[in-house]
């Protein structure tokens, strides 16, 4: 059964039609489940190009009358416009995400992650969609690989889109977070897969990462949709942990083998740059980076401290052993 966060009001979803691009991915599946757990949601539309995964979801939700499926590619603006007709909220999660694959297929990544995101914006503006939230990544912050660069470009497009709304009702914002525990291709999944061999491969023993559970991501996304006024970049409060400590926690009986840092891989991740920190405010569950020119509704929240560093090697955000056991348990 899907857990619904009782702290976050979902009244704003009453009678609303919500479309999720990339709705058959890890994020999309979890978010669709959360939306369907809200009785007031009128309709949920899954937009993706994977017909097999859509058929699997149709079988899973065969008795759910509020669910609709739309085969399409975010590279196709006309298809997006058709899908966005009558939609109130769009959560844009469709993307190419495999760092290594993107390095070898750069033009494909640009077409999907950048041009595709622009197409989502254009279709939303044309169809007067009320709220559009872009799902970004910590890789977008000071990127060193093409995946991060495409996410950064898409973030910039979404923030800038608010200048094109004119007399419309559209608002465009971003949510940016770190590694999701249990997502496809994650380090946690790799540990589970390699555990039987008795050896876990790590690229660098000094590497650190931010971690968050998929359930917490759903909470944050709903809260972003509730609060967003346009132009904000929301970053959930997350804790960090060294990957070697993760191996010791999840597979204590295994040995570790260092295989070397992969191309485009950072030693430590950053979630808010020192330049963005000047515009950042601290909310109860997240930080919000205000757009240039500010955001009036954020004025009631305190600024982050001077010299704020939201990096995965900052011991201020280090997971304690008990917290880690609960997070990864």
Pairing relation of β-strands 131-135 and 171-175? parallel
Backbone dihedral angles phi then psi of residue 33, each to the nearest 5 degrees: -60, -40
Q: Is residue 221 part of a domain?
A: yes
How many structural domains is the chain composed of? 1
For the record, the structure tokens of 138 come out as 């910590």
pLDDT at 2: 39
Q: Percentage helix, strand, coil, to 5, in the chain?
A: 40, 20, 40
CA–CA dist 112, 119 (Å, integer): 9
* 276 closest CA partner among 263, 262, 287, 267: 287
Q: Is residue 218 part of a domain?
A: yes
pLDDT at 265: 87
Which domain, by its residues, includes 86?
11-178+213-237+271-305
For the record, the structure tokens of 27 come out as 């994020």
* 8 A C-beta contact, residue 81 and residue 119: no
Backbone dihedral angles phi then psi of residue 80, each to the nearest 5 degrees: -65, -40
CA–CA dist 250, 239 (Å, integer): 17
Is 139 annotated as catalytic? yes
* 308 closest CA partner among 285, 284, 276: 276
* 171 closest CA partner among 124, 218, 127, 135: 124
Strand partners, 200: 256
Task: Give the residues of the chain that fall short of pLDDT 50.
Answer: 1-6
CATH of the domain at 60: 3.40.50.720
Q: Is residue 145 part of a domain?
A: yes
Of the residues 16, 97, 139, 266, only one is catalytic, namely 139
Q: Is residue 208 part of a domain?
A: no
CA 284 to chain centre: 19
Q: Is residue 310 part of a domain?
A: no
For the record, the structure tokens of 208 come out as 């650190």
CA–CA dist 145, 137 (Å, integer): 12
For the record, the structure tokens of 3 come out as 């857990």
* 8 A C-beta contact, residue 171 and residue 230: yes
Query: How much of the chain exceeds pLDDT 90, in percent?
Result: 83
Please report, to the nearest 10 degrees, the dihedral formed by the alpha carbons of residues 223, 225, 230, 236 taken in order. Answer: 40
pLDDT at 6: 47
* 8 A C-beta contact, residue 187 and residue 142: no
Pairing relation of β-strands 233-236 and 286-289? antiparallel
pLDDT tens per residue across span 302-320:
999 999 999 999 999 999 8
* 8 A C-beta contact, residue 120 and residue 90: yes
CA–CA dist 132, 229 (Å, integer): 10
Q: Is residue 5 part of a domain?
A: no
Q: Considering only CA atoms, give the Rg of the chain.
A: 20
For the record, the structure tokens of 262 come out as 């992969």
pLDDT at 3: 41
Show the DSSP H helices in 201-253 as ranges: 214-227, 243-250
Q: Is residue 290 part of a domain?
A: yes
Q: Is residue 189 part of a domain?
A: no
* 148 closest CA partner among 264, 307, 234: 264
Other CB atoms within 10 Å distance of the CB of residue 283: 18
Instruction: Indicate the DSSP class of residue 156.
Output: H
């Amino acid at each position: 059964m899907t857990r619904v966060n009782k702290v976050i009001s979902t009244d704003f979803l009453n009678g609303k039609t919500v479309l999720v691009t990339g709705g058959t991915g890890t994020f999309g599946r979890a978010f669709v489940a959360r939306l369907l757990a809200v009785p007031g949601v009128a309709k949920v539309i899954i937009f993706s190009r994977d017909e097999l995964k859509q058929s699997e979801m149709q079988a899973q939700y065969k008795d759910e009358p509020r669910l609709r499926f739309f085969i399409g590619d975010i590279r196709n603006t006309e298809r997006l416009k058709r899908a966005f007709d009558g939609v109130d909220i769009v959560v844009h999660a469709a993307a190419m995400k495999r760092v290594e694959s993107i390095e070898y297929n750069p033009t494909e990544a640009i077409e999907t992650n950048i041009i595709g995101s622009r197409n989502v914006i254009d279709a939303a503006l044309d169809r007067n969609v009320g709220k559009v939230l872009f799902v970004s990544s910590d890789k977008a912050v000071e990127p060193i690989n093409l995946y991060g660069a495409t996410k950064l470009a898409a973030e910039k497009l979404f923030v800038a889109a608010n200048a094109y709304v004119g007399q419309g009702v559209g608002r465009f914002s971003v949510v940016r977070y770190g590694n999701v525990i249990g997502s496809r291709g994650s380090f946690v999944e790799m540990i589970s897969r390699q555990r039987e061999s008795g050896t876990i491969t790590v690229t660098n023993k000094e590497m650190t990462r931010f971690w968050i559970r998929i359930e917490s991501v759903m909470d944050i996304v709903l809260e972003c949709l509730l609060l967003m006024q346009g132009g904000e970049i929301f970053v959930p409060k997350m804790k960090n942990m060294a990957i070697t400590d993760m191996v010791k926690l999840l597979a204590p009986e295994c040995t570790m083998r260092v295989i070397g840092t992969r191309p485009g891989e950072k030693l430590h991740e950053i979630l808010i740059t020192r330049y963005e920190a000047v515009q950042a405010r601290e909310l109860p569950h997240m930080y919000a980076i205000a757009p240039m020119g500010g955001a009036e509704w954020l004025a009631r929240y305190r600024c982050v401290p001077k010299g704020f560093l939201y990096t995965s090697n900052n011991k201020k955000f280090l997971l304690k052993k008990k917290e880690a056991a609960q997070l990864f348990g």
